[in-house]
Amino acid sequence: MPPKVVSVAAGEAHTLALTGDGEVYSWGRGMFGRLGTGLEADELVPTAVAPVVAAGGRPRPRFVAVASGAYHSLALDDLGSPETLQAEAQNSGTQSSLKLSSVKAGGMMSFAIDTLGAMWMWGNCPQQTDAGEFCIAASSAPLPVWDFHGHTVVKVACGNEHVVAAVSAGETYTGGDLVCYAWGNNNHGQLGLGDKESRSRPVLISAFSEESSWEVYEIACGAWHTAVLTNKKSFDVDLESRCWTFGIGDNGQLGHGTTATICSPRPVDGLPTGSFLISLDCGLFHTTVVSSDGEVWCWGMERGLGLCPDASFSGVDSGDALRPIRIQSPETNGFKFLGPVQVTCGAAHTVLVAGDGYRMWAWGRGRSGVLGRNQTADSYIPCVVMWPPLDENFQEIHEDRAQASTSGVNDRNSAELEQKLSAASEELQFLRSKLTLMERYANILHISIFRKPLDERTLPRSLQESPVFDIRKEFENILDTSDTDELNRLEIFYRSMLSGVKDKLFKRRVQEMVQECIISLSQGRQTPRGQ
């Protein structure tokens, strides 16, 4: 099977892809060594990074997370214990060795979250001066963010000079209890606090507080705007997700139909309401969301971002997209991509992981090969990224084919190679379609039982410890870790489901009784009078 992409990240003009077997591939602009290939040359197709292996014989690292800033990249290996964090932990008196669980980057800064739920930052980060004023200061070593002590940081996103974090309302994260904090430069209202005053320390966004009727599950930052995905807390209604944006709107990147700047979170109209929004990201001046049905919606700066598939950028077609525009899928000749997984946005390009991780699409500005299709031309419609990369076996086959075609005397061998390639491609397509069907069924089943999408990076414990998924055991674990409010919502949800089943059984029984009466009356009419 080809390598499966489990995560992607995009910088100013480069893209990273993480596979399920722990490999990282990069392509696009190579200046400053951001591709990790050991060179500063551009790469037009996905190329494996070349990690430095220690002289002590340390094995090649297995990566578990990636992140991209404007001109730098991060990759987290499964050891997850950078020496700088260990030293900081020793200085602060912590006995146990810290391990990281995730990384994030944006602009000229980087962030990491450790397994204890604490957050670390380095680079050009928003900080507080001795006088208590806001500033952007550079740090070459990770600094802890002490403001969230006693809480668990779950997600973080950052723009050029602002940060947004999704943090547990209580001490531990139990699922569905995230609140949002923001700090940094706020000259365009990108913090969502209702004003344009910059903050040197995290401040709670009231629209996404514990009292809000919406719970946060995804966050993203553009250069000077922010986007948040939320889910309705009430379980007595259908699952409803919504996208909120705030900050600068000069290019329509907020999706509200205007170019006005918004200082408080406002929902984006025009997005699908009957499907779950599974992924979100922001570019420099554009925003993209993906639904569980495979629909991709973009808005913001039009030129070079492929927001309008048929745009010619002349006359009435020119200009920015002020409202969400649905991207057409070349794969289905419609508006749905099969097996959507994640979307990521660079400064002026967008990359979508689909095919349940086995296919990638890209569109937007193509300079330096950032679209990964062995070209540098722009693309205003989704084009296929050259994935998977050719392995050694396919390289040998292609070399043999080239030699056979140039010599002109091995036509028979060339035909045999063509047949082998055709058979291998058909078998691969068959297996991929079967795997896609099984994963889609598993995801639907998981959502119907546990009310959240299946993520292979956080597989249930019973499935990790055994080849058999014990649904009853896993459901009991969820009940044990749920608070009273969560249990009440689950009761309402399953009571509604049970009521629906009872109604359906009752209606079916009534139909059967009516049918029996009709048959009985029909037979009575056919009986002779003398009998």
pLDDT in tens, 311-332: 444 545 567 889 999 998 887 7
What is the distance between the alpha carbons of residues 135 and 143, in angstroms, rounded to a whole number? 15
What is the distance between the alpha carbons of residues 190 and 352, in angstroms, rounded to a whole number? 25
257, with CB counted inside 10 A (0-12, 13-18, 19+), is: middle
- Whether 111 and 124 have beta carbons less than 8 Å apart is answered as no
Assess whether pLDDT exceeds 50 at residue 518: yes
pLDDT at position 245 is 98
Mean pLDDT of 439-465: 62
Mean pLDDT of 1-11: 90
pLDDT at position 444 is 66
Token output for 156: 């973080």
- Whether 254 and 268 have beta carbons less than 8 Å apart is answered as yes
Domains present along the chain, CATH in parentheses: 5-79+98-309+318-390 (2.130.10.30), 427-524 (no CATH)
Name the residue with higher pLDDT: 34 or 235: 34
Mean pLDDT of 111-139: 92
pLDDT in tens, 361-403: 999 989 999 999 988 988 888 999 998 876 544 444 444 444 5
Assess whether pLDDT exceeds 50 at residue 409: no
User: Helix %, strand %, coil % for the chain, to 5?
Assistant: 25, 30, 40
Mean pLDDT of 439-444: 67
Mean pLDDT of 274-288: 92
Token output for 230: 């939320």
pLDDT in tens, 37-47: 999 999 999 99
Assess whether pLDDT exceeds 90 at residue 513: no
pLDDT at position 406 is 44
Name the residue with higher pLDDT: 418 or 110: 110
Min mean pLDDT across 10-24, 187-201, 505-519 is at 505-519
Name the residue with higher pLDDT: 228 or 488: 228
| Mean pLDDT computed over every residue of the chain | 82
Q: How many CA atoms lie within 13 A of 316 on its CB side?
A: 0
Give the three-state DSSP class for 261.
Answer: coil
Write the DSSP assignment of 263-314 as a string of letters.
Answer: EEEEEPTTS-SSS-EEEEEE-SSEEEEEETTS-EEEEE--TTTT-STT--SS
What whole-number percentage of the chain has pLDDT above 90?
49
pTM of the entire structure?
Answer: 0.72
Question: How remote is the C-alpha of 403 from its chain's centroid?
Answer: 42
What is the distance between the alpha carbons of residues 131 and 402, in angstroms, rounded to a whole number? 69
- Whether 99 and 89 have beta carbons less than 8 Å apart is answered as no
188, with CB counted inside 10 A (0-12, 13-18, 19+), is: buried
